[in-house]
Amino acid sequence: VKRLSKDSGQGLREFKNEVILIAKLQHRNLKRFDIIIGIARGLLYLRRDSRLRIIHRDLKAGNILLDSEMNPKISDFGLARIFGGDQTQINTRRVVGTYGYMSPEYAIDGHFSMKSDVFSFGVMVLEIVSGKKNRGFIHPDHDLNLLGHAWKLWNENKPMELVDILLENVPTAEVLRCIQVGLLCVQKHPEERPLMSAVLYMFDSDNASLPKPKQPGFYIERVHTETDSSSSCNKLYTPTELTVTTLHGR
C-alpha cells in the first residue's frame, strides 16, 4: 500500500513500484481493518454503483494507494475490462496480471469475471492480517503458500497464529472474521466465492452467519530451492525499514 500525498515530486511509475502493501502495514489493527473495508467498498463501487461495470484484473497490494488519512484508493486500471449489462464472464488468450493474486480460472484457462477480483481481494485480506506476501511465502514447517498456510491453521483451529506479530491486543472476533472472509474469497471455484456486496455485509454485520470455507484455490506445496531459502521476500518489515513515497502532480 502506498501513501498518497500532494507534496511528492516523484513520477507515478516510480511511486507505484517503490513499495508494496505489506511494507506499509505497520498500522495498528483498527487501521488495517479500515483498509480492508475501504478496498471492499471500492470494489463494490466498480461493480454496482459506477456507470460502468469494471473488472480490474490486476488487483494487488501494489495497486492500493493510501491518502493522507490512510483511506485506500484502488489504482492502475491499465488492464481493466468493462463488462456489458448482462455479461458475467469473458475469455481471453492473453492472461495478464500478477501471479499470487490471480484466480485459478483466470491464470489457467483465461476466464475472468467479477469473482476473479474477489479472489485477488481475498489474497490481500490474508496478506494484511498476516503481514506477509502470498507469493514467495516461506514457513519452516511446510512448503505451502500463504493461502495454504492460512487454510492449514484454520483446519487446526489455530487461525490466530496467522496474525502479524506486529499487532497487539487484536480483537479476536474481528480478526477471525477477516480470516474467514479472506478464505471464502479465495475458494477454488468462482461460484463458491461471495459477491462483494455479501463481503461487506459479512464485515458490517455482527450477526452475519458466515459459510464455512473450503480448500482455497492454488493450495500448493512447493519445492524450496537455494534461492528460495535465502530470499528475504517473506520477511517482516519493521518501521525503520519502510519507505513512504509521496506523489505530487507535475
- Please report the domains of the chain, with CATH numbers, ordered by start residue: 2-241 (1.10.510.10)
> Among this protein's residues, is 58 annotated catalytic?
yes
Contacts of 133 (CB under 8 A, 6+ apart): 20, 22, 61, 100, 127, 146, 233, 234
DSSP state of 83: E
pLDDT for 124: 95
More confident residue, 57 or 195: 195
DSSP state of 67: -
pLDDT for 214: 93
Q: How far is CA 205 from CA 107, 124, 137, 199, 201, in A?
A: 33, 21, 32, 10, 6
More confident residue, 84 or 42: 42
Q: How do residues 61-77 score in pLDDT, each as one tens digit? A: 888 998 888 889 988 87
For the chain, percent of residues with pLDDT exceeding 70: 68
pLDDT for 208: 80
- The pLDDT of residue 209 is above 60: yes
- The pLDDT of residue 92 is above 70: no
More confident residue, 243 or 250: 250
State the alpha helices, DSSP H only, in the chain. Answer: 12-18, 29-44, 104-109, 114-130, 146-155, 172-185, 196-204, 226-230
Indicate the residue type of 225.
T
**Exposed / middle / buried, residue 39 (Cβ in 10 Å: 0-12, 13-18, 19+):** buried
pLDDT for 232: 40
Q: Hey, which of 68-77, 103-112, 151-160 has the most confident mean pLDDT?
A: 151-160
Q: How far is CA 184 from CA 34, 85, 126, 241, in A?
A: 19, 26, 11, 33
Mean pLDDT over each residue of the chain, to the nearest integer = 77
Phi, psi of 82 (to 5 degrees): -100, 130
- The pLDDT of residue 52 is above 90: no
| Annotated catalytic residue within 7, 58, 86, 109 | 58
Please say whether the beta carbons of 185 and 134 come within 8 A: no
- In angstroms, what is the C-alpha Rg of the chain? 17
Contacts of 238 (CB under 8 A, 6+ apart): 26
pLDDT for 160: 95
Average pLDDT, integer, range 40-58: 81
Q: Hey, which of 26-30, 204-208, 218-222 has the most confident mean pLDDT?
A: 204-208
Please say whether the beta carbons of 131 and 165 come within 8 A: yes
Q: How do residues 162-201 score in pLDDT, each as one tens digit? A: 999 888 778 888 999 999 999 999 999 999 999 999 999 9
Cell for 181?
472472509
More confident residue, 244 or 57: 57
